[in-house]
Structure formats: structure tokens, C-alpha cells
Amino acid sequence: MHESSAATSPSFPQPISPDLHPVPQPVIEPLADRVISLGGPVEGKLGTFTISARLRNRSVLNDTDLARDEITEVLETAARLKKLRQNGKPHNYLPGKTLGMLFQHPSTRTRVSFEAGMAQLGGQAIFLGVNDLQMKRGETIADTAQVLSRYVDGIAARVSTHDELLQLSGAASIPVFNCLTDKSHPLQALADLLTLQERCGSLAGLKLAYLGDGNNMCHSLLLTSAAMGVNLAVAAPAAHQPDPEVVKHASWLASGSGATVTISDDPLAAARDADAIYTDVHVSMGQKDGPARAVALAPYKVTTAVMAAGRPNAVFMHCLPMHRDQEVAAEVADGPQSVIFDQAENRLHLHKAILLHSLCTPNRAH
């Protein structure tokens, strides 16, 4: 009903003369396309899984690509998929879909969770290490993107620079997912919010302290936390603080969500009364100034004293891989407050949610 009335009643003005610029016509989606039903009786044993259609065919390149309510929905989908997996219920909602995985850097969590996630959803992933592609012999990333777009339904990419990710997605005609660049790690930050939500019930009003390098991970936590109303306190030495443009953007998002963003060089002040204390490696992949960076960041190591400054039930977080006794004391990393392996597990559920939203084909029988 809604489909036909929306399609046949254009109540907006038409251009009055072909010489004038055309009046932009609003896109009216039929109601049925705003909600997608997957599975259900026609698909055999698969239960019906309903999601909104707004993330269909969408890429995730930057932390700001998803609005607050979209992040909320993705986290909810991830939690639903997690429950299905825990209960041994089939959820192969992406049959026949293929994900290409273009990786220029090593990976354990991102690679395996995407590959396993695609298999669990009934699709398949093809790992494309850059050394095995013609890119090694100079084929451009844009040509590679155009070729992959003819074979697969989406591309998960871990590339050295954010510019390369933008070149890839600019040339691709299929969704592209940022699996880490020098600038950001959006899917890790989303999975981390899922972990925080599981631990604390709700996100708005929590305090997350990030100690260490103002790097890709710090940027993604800044933007994603600010969007979701999580107060973020970053402590880093002056020379290694996050990009001021990212901080400005995060502060703007925070002003809309009621959160605060604080940048300082004082680790104990940042950790004070925090619900979660987060760190990352002091030297990221591709950084050339390792030894100097390690010295500058040593005072930002998360120790038992830092954890004691947080709330009594504060959790310790790290995206991994970690170097025990460099950025975090081994007793903290392996202690009762650590949720690092929950974070790693949640990469799987979060990636499955993103894949489902972006790559699914609606079941027209509903």
C-alpha cells in the first residue's frame, strides 16, 4: 500500500522550464524498503531478523560515517548476533556474498574475525595480502579496487595511509570498510563501545580515560565516544597528542551528546574516577621513530597505581596486540579488571553486524 502511494503521488514542484536548474526531487523510499527482513519461514530454519535499511550498501571509512542512532543500531545488531551464536542458532543471512580483504599490514583479530564472521553469516571472505597481489608490482590501488568491485560484494581494507583508503573507496563501486589506517580504527572503537555497554549497561555519562600515543586508536575513541555521550579524557605528552582537527571535531560532537573531551599530559588526572582506562601500543605499525616515542610515552604506562585512580570497578582496555610491561603492567593486563579478550571477541560480533547491515539482500518474500 505504502509502496504504490509513495511511488505515484509526487507532491513536489516540477521544474517549470528546461532552462532552469532542475529542482532536486526528494527521494521517497517505499516504507517496505526502510525495514529489511532477513531469513524467516521461506528460508528454512533461519529465524526472521529485521533491521533498518539505512546502512545498506554503505561504507565505513571514517569514525563520523555513522550517526549516533546508526551506531546504536549497529551495537544492538551485534548484541543480537552474539546471542544467536552463543545459543547455537543459525544466522547465515549473507549466502552467496563475498568479502575481499585487502591487507597491507599484519593482523590477527581483524583478519580472523572478518573471515570467521563471513563464514558464520553464510558468505565467504578472500584474504588478499598485498604481497600476493599485482599491487606488489605497481598496479594502482584504484585499478585494484575497480577489479575487485567486479568480483566481490565488499572490501575490508587495512592500508598504510588514510589517503590510500580514500583512493580505494573512491574507485570501488562496492562498500569499503576501514580495518585500520594511520588515522583511524573505527571498527575497533565500535567493538570497544559494545564491550563497555555490556559491562556498564549504558554508554552515556561514562568516563573513558585513554593514556598514551594520540594515534589512530585514540582518534577513533575520541570521535566515537563523543558521538555516543561518553566523556573522554586523553593523557599524552605534548609531542604525541591527538590531531587537533580530530579533537575539534570530537568536541563538537560532544557538545551535541552532552559529553566532555579533555586533553592533558597528566595520566593520573585523566584516570581519576574513570569507568574504563584504555591504552594502545606506544609505537604503531609504520611509525619510524620507535625508540624516541617509547621513551616519551613511558610515563603513560597503565600501572596498578593508575588503575587505582579510576573507579573501584573500572575496567582496563587495550585493542591488542600489547607489549606487557611497556604500555601496560603485566599485572594489570592479566588482572581481574582487564576486559581485553572480551574486546577482541566483540570484534567478531561487531564486524558481523556491519557486514549484515551493509551487504544484505532483502528477502522479497516478506
Between 218 and 359, whose beta carbon lies closer to ligand NVA?
218
Of 49, 80, 52, the residue nearest 67 (C-alpha):
52
Is 54 an active-site residue?
no
**Distant-in-sequence, close-in-space partners of 100: CB < 8 Å, separation ≥ 6:** 125, 126, 128, 148, 151, 152, 154, 155, 156
Q: Give the nearest distance from C-beta 1 to ligand NVA in angstroms.
A: 49
DSSP 8-state symbol, 13: P
Q: Identify the active-site residue in 162, 293, 347, 351.
A: 347
Between 10 and 321, whose beta carbon lies closer to ligand CP?
321
DSSP 8-state symbol, 302: B
Between 206 and 319, whose beta carbon lies closer to ligand CP?
319
Residues that bind ligand NVA in the complex, under the rule CB under 6 A = 180, 215-217, 280-281, 284-285, 319
- Which residues within the stretch 152-191 sit at the binding site for ligand CP (CB under 6 A)? 180, 188
Distance (Å, whole) CA 336 – CA 199 = 13
> Is the bond leading into 22 cis (omega within 30 degrees of zero)?
no
Pick from ligand NVA, ligand CP, none: which does 59 bind, CB < 5 to 8 A by kind? none
Number of residues that bind ligand CP (CB under 6 A): 9
- Which residues within the stretch 229-288 sit at the binding site for ligand CP (CB under 6 A)? none
DSSP characters for 33-83? HHEEEESSGGGTTPPPEEEESTTTT--B-SGGGS-HHHHHHHHHHHHHHHH
Q: Which residue shows C-alpha cell 595520566? A: 267
Between 217 and 329, whose beta carbon lies closer to ligand NVA?
217
What is the three-class DSSP state of 17? Answer: coil
Is 347 an active-site residue?
yes
Between 95 and 321, whose beta carbon lies closer to ligand NVA?
321
Q: Identify the active-site residue in 109, 162, 179, 188.
A: 188
Q: Give the nearest distance from C-beta 260 to ligand CP in angstroms.
A: 26
Q: Give the nearest distance from C-beta 127 to ligand CP in angstroms.
A: 12
- Which residues within the stretch 309-328 sit at the binding site for ligand CP (CB under 6 A)? 319-321
Q: Give the nearest distance from C-beta 101 to ligand CP in angstroms.
A: 11
Between 53 and 322, whose beta carbon lies closer to ligand NVA?
322
Pick from ligand NVA, ligand CP, none: which does 36 bind, CB < 5 to 8 A by kind? none
Pick from ligand NVA, ligand CP, none: which does 281 bind, CB < 5 to 8 A by kind? ligand NVA
Is 158 an active-site residue?
yes
Q: Please identify which residue in 59, 62, 77, 107 interacts with ligand CP, judged by CB under 6 A.
A: 107
Residue type (1 letter), 15: P
Q: Give the nearest distance from C-beta 278 to ligand CP in angstroms.
A: 12
CB neighbours of residue 111 within 10 Å: 18
| Residue 316 and residue 307 in contact, taking contact as beta carbons nearer than 8 Å | yes
| Residue 98 and residue 150 in contact, taking contact as beta carbons nearer than 8 Å | no
Q: Give the nearest distance from C-beta 280 to ligand CP in angstroms.
A: 9
Is 324 an active-site residue?
no
Which one of 12-20, 104-112, 307-315, 327-335 is the stretch in contact with ligand CP (CB under 6 A)?
A: 104-112
Which parts of the chain fold into alpha helices (H)?
2-8, 31-34, 68-86, 109-120, 141-151, 162-171, 186-200, 216-228, 244-257, 267-271, 290-297, 304-309, 330-333, 340-359
Between 171 and 281, whose beta carbon lies closer to ligand NVA?
281
- When asked if residue 125 is in the footprint of ligand CP (CB under 6 A), the reply is no
**Distant-in-sequence, close-in-space partners of 237: CB < 8 Å, separation ≥ 6:** 265, 296, 297, 299, 300
Q: Which residue shows C-alpha cell 576501514? A: 178
Pick from ligand CP, ligand NVA, none: which does 108 bind, CB < 5 to 8 A by kind? ligand CP
Distance (Å, whole) CA 219 – CA 263 = 12
Q: Which residue shows C-alpha cell 570497578? A: 313
Distance (Å, whole) CA 14 – CA 319 = 53
Q: Return the residue nearest ligand NVA (CB atom).
A: 284
Residues within the interface to ligand CP (CB under 6 A):
107-110, 180, 188, 319-321
Enzyme catalytic residues: 158, 185, 188, 280, 319, 347
